[in-house]
Each structure stands twice: as C-alpha cells, then as structure tokens.
Amino acid sequence: MTSKANNQPMTPKSPSPATRIAELRQQIEDANYRYHVLDDPDIPDIEYDRLMRELEALEAAHPELASPDSPTQRVGNAPSAKFSEVRHAVPMLSLANAFEPQEIHEFVARIGKETGDFEPVFSAEPKLDGLAISLRYENGQFVRGATRGDGATGEDVTVNLRTVRAIPLRLRGKTPDVLEVRGEIYMPRAAFERYNKWARENGEKTLANPRNGAAGSLRQLDPRITAQRPLSFFAYALGEVEGLKLPATHSQTLALLRDFGLPVCPQVTTAKGAEGLLAYFEQIGTQRNDLPYDIDGVVYKLDRYDQQRAMGFVSRAPRWAIAHKFPAQEEATTVESIEVSVGRTGAVTPFAVFTPTHVGGVTVVKATLHNADQVARLDVRKGDVVIIRRAGDVIPEVVRVIEERRPTDKEGNPLHPPFVMPAECPACGSAVEREEGEVVARCTGGLFCPAQRIQALFHFASRRAMDIEGLGEQFIAALVEFDYVRTVADLYKLTLEDFLEMKRRADEVTGATPATAKAGKVATRWAENLIAAIDASRNTTLERLLYALGIRDVGESTAKTLAKHFGALDPIMSADVDTLRTVPDIGPIVAARIAHFFAEPHNREVIAALRANGVHWKEGAPQRSADGPLAGQTVVLTGGLAAMSRDEAGDRLEALGAKVSGSVSKKTSFVVAGEAAGSKLAKAQELGVEIWDEERLLAFLAGHAS
C-alpha cells in the first residue's frame, strides 16, 4: 500500500491491545480445541508457546483487559489451605459392576422386560481409570469444578482444573444458562512416562501409575504443582442443565458436548442388544494395551433418555447403566509374614505381608486376609507363594496359594503351621473374642486399647465428624503414645504447652531437630492453629456428635435419623433396644449396638466429660416424620426461595414426613419451584408431576406449624 501524497509505502496500522488480546485468546483456544477435541492440531508447539508468551506480555501491560477465561489464567494462584465442600445439584451416582457375559445378558433382558424393547440401543464407552469430576459452566464460562466425593458432596478443585488445557474455560457457540458436565480427569500413558523420566532425572518423586498420578495431582493444595502435571479430560455425562433443550439420546448429547468444545473419548460408540455390547467389550479389550490412556472396563448406558427415565434408579445407582469390568490383574509373590491390625471398632483383621511385587502399575507389599475364616479357606501360611490380584484394579487381595511351591522340611511336611488368630490383642493385651454368628474377631479393650484409641480419635476429629482441621493421625498417635489423650474428651483439655511438649518429645524419639530449633527458635503457629481448630469444634450438631462417637454401624445417615427422631442426646442414651427399633431404618442389630454403647459406663463418662469441657451440640424437639402429613411422599426443591434457603425448606418438609429428593421421577409427589427453576421444573411438567410455588409452600408450612 502507498500514499498518494508522496508515493511512500504506508505502514499497516497495528491492532489495538484489546483487539490483539482477543485475537490471541481465540487462536489459543482454537488450538486447544483442535488438539484436545478434534485430535487434529494445526500449529506446532513452538508456535503455540509464542502466542501464549505474546498474550501474557500484553495482559501484563494492560491489566484492565484481564479476563477470568483467558488461557493465561490457567496457572498461578497461591496455594490453598484446604478444599471447600461443594454440594452437587444433581448427585454423581455410582454404577453397578458386571464381570461375566451372563450378567450382561441379564442386564439387557431386565431392560427389555420393563421397556418392551428387547434389542435396545446403548451408548458404549471405555471406563476411564482416572478421577471423576463435575464442571459447572454459567452462560458458557467455567465457574466451578468439583470432585465426585461421596456422590452428594465433593471438593472444590476449581483452581486446579483451570490448569488442565483440555478443559475449556469458555464454551463454544450458543451456550445454555447452566451446564454441569461430568467427566474424568486422567493422565495419558505417554505423558505419565515422560513425567516420570523427568522426575527421575531431576531427583523428584515419581508417580506410581497414571490413575494415582491424576488423582494426586488434582488434589494438590498448590495449583502450580497441578499445572506441572500432564493431566487431560474427557466428558461423558451431564448434571444440572438450565436453558437448553437436550437431545433425545445420550449419544447425541455427547456430540453436542463436542460442539461446545469439550473433549469426548473417541472410542465412544453405540451398540445394540447384549451381543452388540459383548462385541464392543471384546473389541476394546484387544485395544486396551494400545490405547493412549488407562481403562479398567467399559460402560454401557441406555441411549434413549425416555428409556432411562422408565428404568429409574436403585439406591445410588442407575438401573439403565452398568460397568463391565475387565478381569483383574494378577501376579505371584511370597508371603513373608501374616500379621493382624486392630481397627477403630476393635476388629482384629489378619493381613499378609509380601515380597514387594509390581501389579498393574502399583507396588504391592501387603493385602488384607479379611478374617480367620478366609485365612483357613485359603490355607495361606508364611512362606507360601500366592497369586495376588488387584480386584477392580484397585484393592489387592490374595486369590489362592500355589501349594506345590509351599516350603517343606526334609520329610515333605509343611515348614510353617497354619495361621491362628491371636487370643490377645497385640496392642493392649485384652482378650480377642468372636461373637456367635460373626466372622470378625474383636478386641474387648474398647477405648482403653491404644490401637482403637488412635483410630477412634482420628474418626472423631475427621471432617464429617467434629471437623478438627489439622489434627491428623500422626499428631493423634503422638498424643496417645505420650499419654496426653486417653478419650476424645481429653482433646478439649489440651493446651498450647501440651502440644509443644509433645512435639519436643516426639522429635527426641525420632532424633529429628527442626530447622527452627537449630536456629534457637520454637515454632508455635502450628500448635496455635490446632488449639483454635479444637475450640472451633466445641459447637456442633447432634448428628455430627453421634457420628463422631464411632458407634459401630452408626454412619452419617443413621446419626441424622437418630438426631431427628429423638431431638436430643439424653433420650437416645436412655432408649432400650425396643425403643430404638421404632426409629425408621434401624433394625435389631444396630439398635442393640447403640443401646450397648450407651450402657457402657466409660462411654457415658466420656460424654459427661465432653459436656464438662465445653462441647455443645444443637438439640431440638423430636421429629416423628413417619407420622407427619407428608409421610410417604417424595418432594423435589428447585430454584431459589425468597423466604428461606432450600436446605431450611427441606428440613421443614422432612419434619412433616416427606422424603426430599434431588431428582424428579414418576414417583415424585410434588415439586416446589422457586425463582429461576430450570430442568427439574421442565421434567416435572413433562411427567405431569404436581408443582407448588413458594406461596403455596409457605401456606402449607404455616398451616402445619407446631
């Protein structure tokens, strides 16, 4: 281009910083999309790095143009002290497992019987061996990511997920108001090998296998460490959705996710009937070792959503999907010894210690033998060569003894006798007894047994119990070893000086000298934090306290049921077995264990000491939900309420007998739809479920106020 005035070439006008930044972001995101979604990169790595450096320089020079969805925002946040909890709007369910072809035939036949379609179409997908996560996008922008956790509640790992390049920070095209994407974080095999090679060359700790590498990397408190790990992601399902009409099938939904810029496993396909599923299983099995990522089976999901809805759910698993697992991986090793451990409830469990053996990417050194009956069934002895298996590719177990390789004396007799469970607890010397009809033997020492004491204290302090942050097993073991704590109530008598003295004594035993001590200083912040955490736990709820006490077979759900039914602790402590059996979902065995726990004088003394040491728990009037006006009815809450939170509304409905569910089905009695209700409202309308607005809910609650 030339100037008419002087015939001199004109210099092209440079784009503004805002324009260039927008161009660079688009180029980088397009490159990510082509690499992770289309598997068709169009620029070399060096060009990608050049674009990123240019963008970083421009954003540094123009901080007013910063944006949370910029590719540069994937790295750099400061370390976090802990992960906060995230409650999933739609639970992340688990899957039933199948191992044999017959189970797949039965699965398909059951679907045919209930839907009338005996050759249904399924989405068939590799079962990735990584970590399940949920990504939440609002108006197309990534706002939060969480682990699966227990299915209802996970951990907020947003800052770490931002470092994963396969996860788009902004979706492509026209996006819905809310889109929760479920998928798997994994570590590609080649990237895993490259990372371990680098780690060995630089004196860093190597990763055991890709699965552990993925899970451990995502749960780093410092996202800068996560950013160094070669993580990737595949999407495979949806959670909460608002502002989007979904396709009729799961396979069409996966195609839609690809259009949004989310990577989906390329081995996903559809298959028809049981024979189609088994053919896919065989095909993937032959490809397994050549795939760029680890899998431990395949997953079959009914493709049509209307058929999924017709099948529904059982417990915490869908009846329209199943995981078909590959045979577990096995190796031979030698038993060096058989020992026992004592658990929190006094269970004395035998376990075998092996010559270290590599099985499926993990070095195995021991495995549980479960109980004395299992040891006798296997007839496993010291010195035996055994076959061990990582059942489900995770839990090591002893499969069988290779008897012909058993060591013998000159006469051919076994060199080692059969294993016998100890008559006395190895931790406290108390008698080990086995109740009639039970397979597990238990130490009778109770909280007086140091082994049980450590585990009981660890459970008491855990996040879902009293939530004493920072009080880990190492500190608890030292507190017990040096006799600072004998019961959980003793935690609330500890002083700063106790913790500092305990640490000094522990360092003397190990011969360790902290750097601060070498410098003539005493570090106290850690102890101050522990004292503060213990103080913060003094105010809790009755259900948390009941769970924290470690009553055998009383988990979180049973603790919540007891708290609601009785309202206060004293009535629970004085209830006999017959009274406890009137509580919903509590059978005779659990009732007997609760009654036995509170009948023990030392347990009552612990509770009295907790009260004396300033521990308080919220109590209220009993809630006899089975007798309420909503008894037997299932209610779903969706959208925002103006007068109260959804949790409060749920509690009040449960107090009137309702079961509050997180998903709408044909069994839902009515849906309470608040402000900005989304997909649950639409589903209720589709199924013809009765819908209440907030005004009707408030009127109903007012009419049934006690």
116 torsion bin: left (phi>0), alpha (psi -120 to 50), beta (else): left
Structure confidence at residue 510 (pLDDT): 73
Mean predicted confidence (pLDDT) in 122-126: 97
77 — pLDDT class (breaks 50, 70, 90): very low
Pair 212, 231: CB distance under 8 Å? no
Return the amino acid letter for 308: Q
**Per-residue pLDDT tens over the stretch 171-221:** 999 999 999 999 999 999 888 888 888 877 777 777 777 887 888 888 887
Query: Closest by alpha carbon to 545, among 466, 471, 612, 649?
Result: 466
**Per-residue pLDDT tens over the stretch 213-253:** 888 888 887 778 888 888 999 999 999 999 999 999 999 99
Q: Calculate the dihedral angle through the C-alpha atoms of 490, 491, 496, 502, rounding to the nearest 10 degrees.
A: 80
Architecture (CATH level 2) of domain 540-618: Orthogonal Bundle (1.10)
Query: Closest by alpha carbon to 540, among 486, 473, 646, 614?
Result: 614
Q: What fold is seen in the domain 18-74?
A: Helix Hairpins (1.10.287)
Q: Which region among 183-187, 397-401, 519-523 has the lowest average model confidence (pLDDT)?
A: 519-523
Query: Closest by alpha carbon to 73, among 160, 191, 173?
Result: 160
- Asked if 446-537 and 540-618 have one fold, the answer is yes
Structure confidence at residue 364 (pLDDT): 86
> CA-CA distance, 432 to 322, in Å (whole number)?
41
**Mean pLDDT highest for which of 29-33, 51-55, 160-164, 520-524?**
160-164
Q: What fold is seen in the domain 625-703?
A: Rossmann fold (3.40.50)
The residue behind tokens 């509050």 is 660
Q: What fold is seen in the domain 446-537?
A: DNA polymerase; domain 1 (1.10.150)
Pair 98, 290: CB distance under 8 Å? no
Active-site amino acid positions: 127
User: What's the CATH number for 329-405?
Assistant: 2.40.50.140
Q: Is 330 exposed, middle or buried (0-12, 13-18, 19+ CB in 10 A)?
A: middle
Run of H or E residues at 392: none
Cβ partners under 8 Å of residue 90, min gap 6: 180, 239, 240, 662, 663
Mean predicted confidence (pLDDT) in 606-619: 94
> CA-CA distance, 134 to 183, in Å (whole number)?
6
C-alpha dist (Å) from residue 101 to 61, 98, 107, 476: 62, 8, 10, 48
Structure confidence at residue 626 (pLDDT): 55
pLDDT surpasses 50 at 4: no
> CA-CA distance, 546 to 559, in Å (whole number)?
6
Q: Which region among 198-202, 517-521, 615-619 has the lowest average model confidence (pLDDT)?
A: 517-521
Structure confidence at residue 512 (pLDDT): 66
Pair 148, 95: CB distance under 8 Å? no
Q: Give domain limits for the chain.
A: 18-74, 97-325, 329-405, 446-537, 540-618, 625-703
Tell me the three state secondary structure of residue 88. Answer: coil
Residues forming a β-bridge with 368: 351
Interhelix angle 210-218/189-201, rounded to 10 degrees, is 80
**Token digits of residue 2:** 């030339």
The residue behind tokens 């090679």 is 197
**Token digits of residue 321:** 């999907």
Structure confidence at residue 76 (pLDDT): 44
C-alpha dist (Å) from residue 585 to 152, 558, 559, 560, 565: 20, 8, 11, 11, 11
According to DSSP, the β-strands at 347-359 and 395-401 are: unpaired
Does residue 509 or residue 81 have the better pLDDT? 509
The residue behind tokens 């290779």 is 402
Architecture (CATH level 2) of domain 97-325: 2-Layer Sandwich (3.30)
Pair 320, 97: CB distance under 8 Å? no
**Per-residue pLDDT tens over the stretch 426-469:** 988 888 988 777 788 988 777 668 888 888 899 999 988 999 99
Structure confidence at residue 3 (pLDDT): 47
* φ/ψ of residue 389, rounded to 5: -135, 140
Return the amino acid letter for 248: A
Pair 334, 326: CB distance under 8 Å? no
> CA-CA distance, 45 to 47, in Å (whole number)?
5
Structure confidence at residue 447 (pLDDT): 64
Rg over CA atoms, the chain: 30
Q: Is 79 exposed, middle or buried (0-12, 13-18, 19+ CB in 10 A)?
A: exposed
> CA-CA distance, 601 to 378, in Å (whole number)?
41
pLDDT surpasses 80 at 10: no
pLDDT surpasses 90 at 134: yes
Structure confidence at residue 670 (pLDDT): 94
C-alpha dist (Å) from residue 251 to 158, 247, 254, 301, 664: 27, 9, 5, 9, 22
pLDDT surpasses 60 at 683: yes
Pair 230, 192: CB distance under 8 Å? yes
Whole-structure pTM value: 0.51
Query: Closest by alpha carbon to 168, among 58, 83, 260?
Result: 260
Residue 68 neighbours by CB distance under 10 Å:
11
Structure confidence at residue 582 (pLDDT): 87
> CA-CA distance, 653 to 647, in Å (whole number)?
10
Run of H or E residues at 298: strand 295-302
Tell me the three state secondary structure of residue 315. Answer: coil
Query: Closest by alpha carbon to 217, among 260, 188, 252?
Result: 188
3-state secondary structure 561-626: HHHHHHCCHHHHHHCCHHHHCCCCCCCHHHHHHHHHHHHCHHHHHHHHHHHHCCCEEECCCCCCHH
How confident is the prediction for the chain on average, in pLDDT? 86
pLDDT over 70, % of the chain: 91
> CA-CA distance, 52 to 90, in Å (whole number)?
36
Pair 688, 660: CB distance under 8 Å? no
Structure confidence at residue 217 (pLDDT): 85
Structure confidence at residue 671 (pLDDT): 93
